[in-house]
Chain A
Amino acid sequence: MRILTKTSLYYLIVSIVVFLLGGLSFYKILQTEIYDEVDDQLFTDKENIIEYIRRHNELPNVTSGISEAILVKEHSDRIKVIEALTDTLIFSAYDEEYIPFRKLSFIAYQNGKPFQYTILKSLMDFEDLFESTMLAMAWIFLLLLIGLAGVNYFVNKYTWLNFYDTLDKAKRYSLTQREPLYLNPTKTREFQELNDVLQAMTKKIHNDYINLKEFTENASHEIQTPLAIVNSKLELFMQSDNLTQQQASMLEEMHASVNRLSRLNKSLILLTRIENREFSETEELPLHEVLLEQITHLHDIMQMHELAYQVTSLEPTTLSINRGLAEVLLSNILLNAIRHNCPSGTIYVSLTAQELCISNTGKPLDSSPEQMFERFMSGNKAAGSLGIGLAIVSKICSLYKLQPAYNYTDGLHKLCLQLPKKYANSF
């Protein structure tokens, strides 16, 4: 939910409560005031009538009061009437409805003879007042809503504009782009603070990234060059005549170790470079073609291991990915399937628009499947295996948001990569 929608909703809820309570108390206060007023008038009338009788010793003319109706009748002793103030409804033939009245009954004496007076006062005004109050409240409420929407719109358009701009830029910011994050200055203090913090943070991260990148490249250069020297000297050394067998095999072992070290170094550098997201160049890659290329490339190796392979399905699928990384990804998975196979085993390859699955026959895992993707975790110390292939696979997968899933059923290791829906499409 957007923050403006959220605040508006709170405003609205509070407004409804305030208006309901406000309307109710307004109504109550008005009611009390009007009753007071009407009662005052009734009592004034009463006082006037009694005063008139006392002064003139005759009953006043009924129309003389401010009341709307004054009824007089002779009072019999039999019924005891005390002064009473009540509400009553009287049917009005004109309005064809019951109209609320306030009624004051009292006894006045003329020459010792009791007369019962009933003064009625209409409360119709009050009803009208109540209605107009509610109507006014409703109008105010409506206007407030419109005002709120309007304020939101303008706040959204002008004040939050900078915020959304910042958000958008931060979203699209990638460390691999070489310039630091630039955010438009804003007059809103909080947003300016946010921008400053973001800029300072990305600047620091950017610098760290550059340092790391330089370190990686330097490390690569600094390690590869001495390795190249050792390698070349060993090779030259091997060309010399009159080496004893012992010396020769020592040389060969040194050479093999140096080779292993260089391959390890190359793999680690690749891993770091994937982590640094240096392979930002992507293309819509026809995955089926690259897969076939890699299979053809490895055909020879499979044959040497006496492995058969079977492509169960190969749908034309494109994936937005860096070509080099895609090749590394596929060949590493295939090599893994070769390495951990059993004699005369089979490799099954299936590619659909949804997923890429590569399965191979083999013995169950010694360790948990989670550990499989960690560095230097070789299941069985297979010949020359560095245990880094699947770590690279996992890195590439997380870079492109491919979901790797592994399971083992009926002697078959199955590794599936869930292809992202938005990228996967068939021709």
Chain B
Amino acid sequence: MKLLIIEDESALNASIVAYLQQVGYTCESAEDFRKAWRKIANQDYDCVILDLTLPGGNGLDLIRLLKTNNPEAGIIIISAKNALDDKISGLELGADDYLTKPFHLSELNARLRSVIRRRNITSQKVIQLGSLEVYPESAEALVEGRKMTLTKKEFELLLYFVSNKNRVLTKDSIAEHLWGDHIETLDSLDFVYTHIKNLRRKLIETGAEDPIQTIYGMGYKFNY
């Protein structure tokens, strides 16, 4: 899987590259419009993550170029310009997803997985982790062939964990993934705890070894 990360802020660009490389992607990066243009013109990528406000040009033009040059590539827009029109025109041009800065790297990774899954018809429809099988499209999970009965949120949580396996996920990022912007209302961290407890219980009941490790003081890690 080859990705191109187009982000003018080099520190952020480096973070994204580092995280995604740790997860196992091949990453290239571009920090301005011209470089990005050259890379897109010369090579094919599985997914392009791009910021819309770039020195030297508008990210929307890069999307147009991608659509003619490399139409199979998934596109995720990351922008600080929470402007509605940008989001709409970006998605209209054919971007697959839109993330507003700041975002969790684990969230970006989960969205990336989902975009690649949706884009790539040939790829397997199942994520296999040992005896655990996760079917994102039908929202089903099996352990050793036995189906788990999960609520919608529990499945989302499992998918989030699976997408970010072996990574530390903070309770905050989990809460934001599950409930979006509404989490400021909630005693969300308690609910994260409850959901994880239930998921863990169901995984064990169906016969899996407990894959969810509690990292004291920080969050959780799905070990595989």
A residues sitting closer than 8 Å to B (CB atoms) are 217, 220-221, 224-225, 227-233, 235-236, 238-239, 243, 245-246, 248-252, 255-256, 258-260, 262-263, 266, 269-270, 279, 298, 300-301, 304-305, 324, 331, 335, 338-339, 382-386, 389
Which parts of B166-186 form the interface with A (CB within 8 Å)? 167-168, 170-173, 176, 179, 181-186
A335 and chain B: residue at smallest CB distance: B185
When A228-B103, A255-B172, A279-B84 are in contact, do A239 and B167 touch as well, CB less than 8 Å?
A: yes
Assess the A235–B19 pair: CB atoms within 8 A: yes
A sample of 17 inter-chain contacts (CB < 8 A) reads A224-B82, A225-B12, A225-B102, A227-B101, A235-B15, A235-B19, A235-B104, A236-B18, A236-B19, A239-B167, A243-B218, A249-B218, A255-B170, A258-B102, A279-B84, A304-B194, A384-B186
Cα separation A269 to B80 with both chains bound (whole Å): 11
Assess the A248–B80 pair: CB atoms within 8 A: no
Other-chain contact of A235, B105, B171, B191 (Cβ < 8 Å): B105
Assess the A232–B176 pair: CB atoms within 8 A: no
List the 9 closest A-B pairs by CB distance, nearest first.
A249-B217, A232-B15, A228-B102, A224-B80, A248-B217, A228-B101, A227-B102, A383-B187, A221-B80
Nearest chain B CB to A337 CB, angstrom units: 10
Assess the A252–B219 pair: CB atoms within 8 A: yes
Nearest chain A CB to B198 CB, angstrom units: 12
Q: Which residues of B contact A225 (CB under 8 A)?
A: 9, 12, 80, 101-102
B188 lies within 8 A of chain A by Cβ: yes
B89 lies within 8 A of chain A by Cβ: no
Cα separation A266 to B176 with both chains bound (whole Å): 14
Assess the B181–A245 pair: CB atoms within 8 A: no
Assess the A217–B102 pair: CB atoms within 8 A: no
Cα separation A338 to B188 with both chains bound (whole Å): 13
A227-B102, A239-B168, A251-B217 given; 7 more Cβ-contact pairs under 8 Å: A221-B80, A224-B80, A231-B102, A235-B19, A250-B217, A256-B170, A384-B188
B87 and chain A: residue at smallest CB distance: A324
Q: Which residues of B contact A331 (CB under 8 A)?
A: 182
Nearest chain B CB to A227 CB, angstrom units: 4
Assess the A217–B83 pair: CB atoms within 8 A: yes
Assess the A259–B217 pair: CB atoms within 8 A: no
Cα separation A255 to B219 with both chains bound (whole Å): 11
Q: Which residues of B contact A233 (CB under 8 A)?
A: 11, 15
Which parts of B87-133 form the interface with A (CB within 8 Å)? 100-106
Cα separation A386 to B181 with both chains bound (whole Å): 12
| Tally of A-B Cβ pairs under 8 angstroms | 129
Per DSSP, chain B at the interface is: helix
When A301-B179, A304-B194, A335-B185 are in contact, do A252 and B101 touch as well, CB less than 8 Å?
A: no
When A228-B103, A300-B153 are in contact, do A259 and B172 touch as well, CB less than 8 Å?
A: yes
Q: Which residues of A contact B100 (CB under 8 A)?
A: 224, 266
Q: Which residues of A contact B183 (CB under 8 A)?
A: 384
Q: Which residues of A contact B9 (CB under 8 A)?
A: 225, 228-229
Cα separation A339 to B53 with both chains bound (whole Å): 37
Other-chain contact of B101, A224, A255, A270, A383 (Cβ < 8 Å): A224
Other-chain contact of A248, B81, B82, B182, B218 (Cβ < 8 Å): B218
Assess the A301–B102 pair: CB atoms within 8 A: no
Cα separation A279 to B87 with both chains bound (whole Å): 14
Q: Which residues of B contact A256 (CB under 8 A)?
A: 170, 172
Cα separation A370 to B185 with both chains bound (whole Å): 21
Q: Which residues of B contact A258 (CB under 8 A)?
A: 102
Assess the B176–A335 pair: CB atoms within 8 A: no
Assess the B182–A231 pair: CB atoms within 8 A: no
Nearest chain B CB to A274 CB, angstrom units: 12
When A236-B18, A236-B19, A238-B170 are in contact, do A231 and B184 touch as well, CB less than 8 Å?
A: no
Assess the A263–B103 pair: CB atoms within 8 A: no
Which parts of B1-21 form the interface with A (CB within 8 Å)? 9, 11-12, 15-16, 18-19
The winner among A238, A279, A386 for most chain B CB atoms within 10 A is: A238
B204 lies within 8 A of chain A by Cβ: no
Other-chain contact of A301, B82, B176, B185, B219 (Cβ < 8 Å): B185
Cα separation A200 to B184 with both chains bound (whole Å): 44
Cα separation A138 to B5 with both chains bound (whole Å): 91
B65 lies within 8 A of chain A by Cβ: no
Q: Which residues of B contact A389 (CB under 8 A)?
A: 185
Which parts of B195-224 form the interface with A (CB within 8 Å)? 215-219
Q: Which residues of B contact A228 (CB under 8 A)?
A: 9, 12, 80, 101-103
Q: Which residues of A contact B171 (CB under 8 A)?
A: 252
Q: Which residues of A contact B80 (CB under 8 A)?
A: 220-221, 224-225, 228
Assess the A266–B16 pair: CB atoms within 8 A: no
Nearest chain A CB to B12 CB, angstrom units: 5
Cα separation A250 to B170 with both chains bound (whole Å): 12
Q: Which residues of B contact A245 (CB under 8 A)?
A: 216-217
Assess the B105–A249 pair: CB atoms within 8 A: no
Other-chain contact of B106, A235, A270, A298 (Cβ < 8 Å): A235
Cα separation A260 to B170 with both chains bound (whole Å): 14
B22 lies within 8 A of chain A by Cβ: yes
Cα separation A227 to B100 with both chains bound (whole Å): 11
Q: Which residues of A contact B219 (CB under 8 A)?
A: 238, 252
Cα separation A219 to B106 with both chains bound (whole Å): 26
Q: Which residues of B contact A251 (CB under 8 A)?
A: 217-218
